[in-house]
Homo-oligomer: A and B are copies of this chain.
Amino acid sequence: MNPQLSISRRTRSTPFTSRVQAAGVSAYTIYNHMLLATMFESYEADYWHLCEHVQVWDVSCERQVAIEGPDANKLVQLMTPRDLTKAKIGRCFYLPLCDVDGSVINDPIAIKIATDQWWLSVADSDVVLWAKGLATGMRLDVKVYEPDIWPLAVQGPKAEKLMSRVFGNQVKDIGFFQIKPLDYHAQAGTFSMQVARSGWSKQGGFEIYVNDIQAGQQLWDELFSKGADLQVRAGCPNIIERLESSLLSLGNDMGYDTTPMEAGLDQYVDLDANIESLSLPALRSHIPSKRLMGLIIDSHANISDNSLTIEGKTVGEIRSHGYSPRYGVHLAIVLCHLEPLGDKQQVDIVTNDGMQQGRLCNLPFDFNALGLKAIKQRG
């Protein structure tokens, strides 16, 4: 059994914590100094439910870093090598944020809220300090702060049905990675909340940027009362689903020790763009020495050492892993060292049951191309 988590004011609770507890959370992590559930019933039971029904996730830990003012666009562009010149209001952008060496500092969803206003919905590092440090040092005319916003994610194939019962059919008009302010009619009045079609799963769904504690709690309760027949449950980002969907996790898969290209995020780096970005000069001349890849082990693996080896020589390391009950294989995201690896694809992994073999592949996992068929379709 894992040790318990000590909860204090520093590991902030959220407006939904009492509801998450009542729903039977069994494990947490701390993310952006805040509680994030990681498991309710079991990773596998949570997974099948997410793939079949609809879940409400307390992802308050997706802290918003608001950047507002005349220099807001300039600052956001400085922080990322992705070209935002043509960014439109009401759109979401997956952005690698990098320092002057090209190292990944965070990978938020950036939302263009208004002409001079961005929200960065950040992964687990204090982007507010990075952005404020740059703004202070460069004397930019911007305000940088963490507003009181607690995102709720509604995820799963029945998410749209549930959301339309609460917000009306207008949610159906929100395209993928689009965001719209929608009215939520709470007891205390009407609140305008940003609603995006997004979320950290590939089962479809929305994220609601809750901006009032009481209205948010009423919204949570309404999602559950109106979703009873849809088998709605409290959930959370699920390790099995995110591995199958090849969703990267900052701090687990990549971070200060990787460039976006080494993390396979090439499509979010505009090397040829004529933009003012802190990291582009370094990224243009950087020669990747490692690369994130997928790894498949054809059975359940009790991995006891994160090294990948070939004939005893280390060629990489496992960064995240878990068993896929759908495909009957163990999946991992691994960081490979390009020089010793070459074009080899078979690697050795140390497990509690002895040495096992795995095969490397590109990300995202393409189960068809890999010849893997679902051995189980539901829980």
Nearest CB of chain B from residue A38's CB, rounded to whole Å: 4
Could you tell me if A251 and B10 are in contact, using CB atoms closer than 8 angstroms?
Answer: yes
Count of identical protomers in the assembly: 2
Cβ proximity bits A107-147 to B, threshold 8 Å, 1 near / 0 not? 00000000000000000111101111111111000000010
Q: Is A219 an interface residue (CB 8 A)?
A: no
> Which of A3, A26, A124 is most buried by chain B, counting CB atoms within 10 A of its CB?
A3
Nearest CB of chain B from residue A60's CB, rounded to whole Å: 16
Bound Cα distance A348, B250 (Å):
44
Residues of B within 8 A of A2 (CB): 4-7
Nearest CB of chain B from residue A230's CB, rounded to whole Å: 26
> Which of A130, A251, A320 is most buried by chain B, counting CB atoms within 10 A of its CB?
A130
Cβ proximity bits A1-35 to B, threshold 8 Å, 1 near / 0 not? 11111111111000000000100011111100100
Could you tell me if A4 and B6 are in contact, using CB atoms closer than 8 angstroms?
Answer: no
Chain A: interface residue total (CB-CB under 8 A): 47
> Which of A6, A29, A320 is most buried by chain B, counting CB atoms within 10 A of its CB?
A6
Could you tell me if A5 and B8 are in contact, using CB atoms closer than 8 angstroms?
Answer: no
Q: Is A100 an interface residue (CB 8 A)?
A: yes
Q: Is A278 an interface residue (CB 8 A)?
A: yes
Q: Is A319 an interface residue (CB 8 A)?
A: yes
Q: Which of A30-66 contact B (CB under 8 A)?
A: 30, 33, 38-39
Bound Cα distance A268, B226 (Å):
55
Smallest CB-CB separation from A146: which chain B residue?
A: B256
Residues of B within 8 A of A11 (CB): 29-30
Bound Cα distance A21, B1 (Å):
11
Contact of A133 among B4, B133, B250, B256 (CB under 8 A): B133
What would 21 A/B residue contacts be, using CB atoms closer than 8 Å? A2-B4, A3-B21, A3-B25, A3-B26, A4-B26, A5-B27, A6-B29, A6-B39, A8-B320, A9-B252, A9-B319, A11-B29, A29-B30, A125-B129, A126-B130, A129-B129, A133-B133, A134-B134, A134-B136, A136-B278, A146-B256
Q: Which residues of A come within 8 Å of B, CB atoms?
A: 1-11, 21, 25-30, 33, 38-39, 99-100, 105, 124-127, 129-138, 146, 249-252, 256, 278, 319-320
